[in-house]
Amino acid sequence: MTVLDDPPASSAPAPKKSDGNGAPIGTLLFFGMAGLLVLLVAAVAVIGVVGLFQDDDGGSGDGAGAGGGATISVALSEFAIDGALSADPGAITLNVSNDGSQQHDLELRETGAKTPLLSSGESATLALGELDAGSYELYCTVPGHAESGMSTNLEVAAGGGEAAASGADDDHEGDPNYWNTEEMDRKMTESMLAYPAATEGLGNELLEYELMPDGTKQFELTAAITKWEVSPGEFVDAWTYNGIVPGPQIKVDVGDNVRVILHNETPLGTDIHWHGIDTPNDQDGVAPFTQDPIKSGESFTYEFLADAPSIGMYHAHFHSQISVLNGMFAAFIIGDNPIPYGETISGVTIPTEEELDLAVEIPMVLNDAGVIGLTLNGKSFPATEPVVMKQGQWGVAHYYNEGLTPHPMHMHQFPQLVYAKDGIPLDHPYWADTINVAPGERYSVLWPAEDPGVWVWHCHILTHVESEEGMFGMVTAVIVEEAE
């Protein structure tokens, strides 16, 4: 609606006119014509915009334009809501664009006014009607997105519109908090010093098996919706195996006969796909091709021979975009960890198996969606677990991406030796300080804890680790204690 008040290009010739005594007639004519043209274009644009308003909500355009109400541009992205979100009391309209890569929407919690689900690049107009002074919450209703940062306030107060306009020149379009630098420094510091924060529940717990008389290792899993504390005090309805995120780790030896009994207590049909693991086709867990869906309340038994080493994972395949993103994923490891003991790689010799003091071997499961959101092993910073080691020890992590987008995982100070991709040992392992892990991929890395200190370890997509509210999401640290 700003087009109505201030047709941008039609005012451009004005300065020339005012200082132009004796401007050639041709020039005047040209500007006159150009002005007319621009006005015409502006008028068409306005008609278009009004048309849009009327499609969405008849009459709202009138309120925002003629009635002097405010129109605010709002940009959605992963995972932020940006815009000059303050206005005077009165009719308020939002022009909402999805500048992100995932689908988002925007709802005003107090009234329930909501845009449709917008795909990347789409936009919509949201008429909020007449709002009294107060603080209103705007958030994305896609599960997990508000928790990941897509929640903000619309401040309606006398003078709010001016505050927004005065800030409109900076990149943050007058976000009233943006220039409160002390407050921002405080929030960032406070959020970081909260690490490591205790929360209920720990994922990746090793799953016990029952050894059957014929040597089969029998495991039992229950899939259900359970409460999960993603970050301190923030409990979500996660879809879990045995109540934890990531689900329990299964570890077996090559040659083991494996039986897994799954009880489905989720409301949807499910199955389990053994990702990166060799199985007979009818055990691949792809309902309805290789089996019937395991309906809510039913159980199913998988059985296969663990005939080859694997750094695999297991997760639902049927309705995976709901169940997996909300927590139903876990590590499944067969056989020995293929560390290249004794090899020299780019001039660095890895100790022999006898010499190498391996402090930790951990799955590092990445997620970015569903109710779990941007997390490492089912927890968002500061609830992520630190890796504590002693100087001189080595660590191993198996990165697993169970989310929707790649995550470049960067460890400060210590180079990581990538020695297996998707569980397949590399003939030529390599050192890297940042490893980009795409959905479905696994990378196994080995690092030397050479120097004492707190060394952060995080996804290097910076909006996956920080917001204006401070640090969150995909960050943890390797804490190296001095050797005695």
Work out which of 175, 219, 464, 476 binds Cu ion, going by CB under 5 A: 464
Residue 275 sits in the site that holds Cu ion (CB under 5 A): no
CA distance 283 to 294: 13
- Binding part of the chain for Cu ion, among 34-42, 175-183, 221-229, 406-414 by CB under 5 A, reads 406-414
Nearest distance from C-beta of residue 450 to Cu ion, angstroms: 26
- Reduced to 3 states (helix: H, G, I; strand: E, B; else coil), residue 161 is helix
C-alpha 291/C-alpha 149 separation (Å) is: 39
Minimum separation from the CB atom of position 80 to Cu ion (A)? 14
Distance (Å, rounded) from C-alpha 201 to C-alpha 379?
Answer: 9
Q: Are 467 and 149 in contact (CB under 8 A)?
A: yes
| Nearer Cβ to Cu ion (86/401) | 401
Pick the piece of the chain touching Cu ion (CB under 5 A) from 19-27, 194-202, 289-297, 462-470: 462-470
Stretch that binds Cu ion, among 18-26, 302-310, 400-408, 419-427 (CB under 5 A): 400-408
Residue closer to Cu ion (CB basis): 286 or 461: 461
**What is the token pair recorded at 216?**
């089969």
The answer to whether the peptide bond before residue 246 is cis (omega within 30 degrees of 0) is yes
Nearer to Cu ion, 79 or 239 (CB): 79
Maximum Cα–Cα distance for the chain, whole Å? 106
Of 339 and 365, which CB lies nearer to Cu ion in the complex structure? 365
Number of residues located near Cu ion, criterion CB under 5 A: 4
Is residue 28 close enough to count as binding Cu ion by CB under 5 A?
Answer: no
Of residues 338 and 406, the one with the C-beta less far from Cu ion: 406
Contacts of 30 (CB under 8 A, 6+ apart): none
Q: How far is the CB of 438 from Cu ion (least distance, A)?
A: 11
Query: Could you tell me the smallest distance in angstroms from the CB atom of residue 434 to Cu ion?
Result: 11
What is the C-alpha to C-alpha distance for residues 208 and 408, in angstroms, rounded to an integer?
33
Residues counted in the chain: 484
Question: What is the smallest separation between the CB atom of 191 and Cu ion, expressed in angstroms?
Answer: 17
Q: Smallest Cα–Cα separation from 393: which of 452, 311, 476, 475?
A: 452
- Nearest approach in angstroms of CB 402 to Cu ion is 12
CB of 373 to Cu ion, least distance (A): 11
461 binds Cu ion (CB under 5 A): yes
The smaller minimum CB distance to Cu ion, of residues 398 and 464, is found at 464
* Structure-block tokens of residue 371: 């109710």
Residue nearer to Cu ion on the CB measure, 136 or 399: 399
458 part of the interface to Cu ion, by CB under 5 A: no
The label of the residue with tokens 């308020």 reads: 92
Buried b (16+ CB within 10 A) or exposed e, 209-244: beeeeeeebebbbbbbbbebbbbeeeebebbbbbbb
Residue in 355, 445, 348, 341 with CA at minimum distance from that of residue 393: 355
Burial class (CB in 10 A: 0-12, 13-18, 19+), 165: middle
Our CB check for Cu ion shows the closer of 207 and 459 to be 459
Least Å distance between CB 292 and Cu ion? Answer: 36
CB-based contact 277:424 (threshold 8 Å)? no
H and E: helices and strands count for the chain? 7, 32
Hey, which residues between 407 and 426 contact Cu ion (CB under 5 A)? Answer: 407
User: Pairing mode, if any, of strands 86-87 and 151-156?
Assistant: parallel
Choices 90-98, 274-282, 311-319, 460-468 (CB under 5 A): range interacting with Cu ion: 460-468
| Cα 345 versus chain centre, distance | 34
| CA–CA gap between residue 268 and residue 273 (Å, rounded) | 16
* Residue 474 C-beta: closest distance to Cu ion, Å: 5
The interface region with Cu ion, picked from 227-235, 271-279, 377-385, 456-464 by CB under 5 A, is 456-464
Tokens of 267: 């409301």
By C-beta, is 70 or 376 nearer to Cu ion? 376
CB-nearer residue toward Cu ion: 263 or 460: 460
Query: In angstroms, what is the minimal distance from the CB of 471 to Cu ion?
Result: 13
User: Which residue, 142 or 459, has its beta carbon nearer to Cu ion?
Assistant: 459
Which amino acid type is present at position 130?
E
Angle at 346 between CA 376 and CA 431, to 5 degrees: 10
- Please answer whether residues 231 and 274 qualify as being in contact, where contact means their C-beta atoms are separated by less than 8 angstroms: no
With binding defined as CB under 5 A, does residue 145 bind Cu ion?
no
CB of residue 376 to Cu ion, shortest distance in Å: 10
459 binding Cu ion? (CB under 5 A): yes
User: Stretches 114-122, 305-313, 417-425, 458-466: which one binds Cu ion (CB under 5 A)?
Assistant: 458-466
Distance of closest approach, residue 436 Cβ to Cu ion, in angstroms: 10
Q: Which residues of the chain form contacts with Cu ion (CB under 5 A)? A: 407, 459, 461, 464
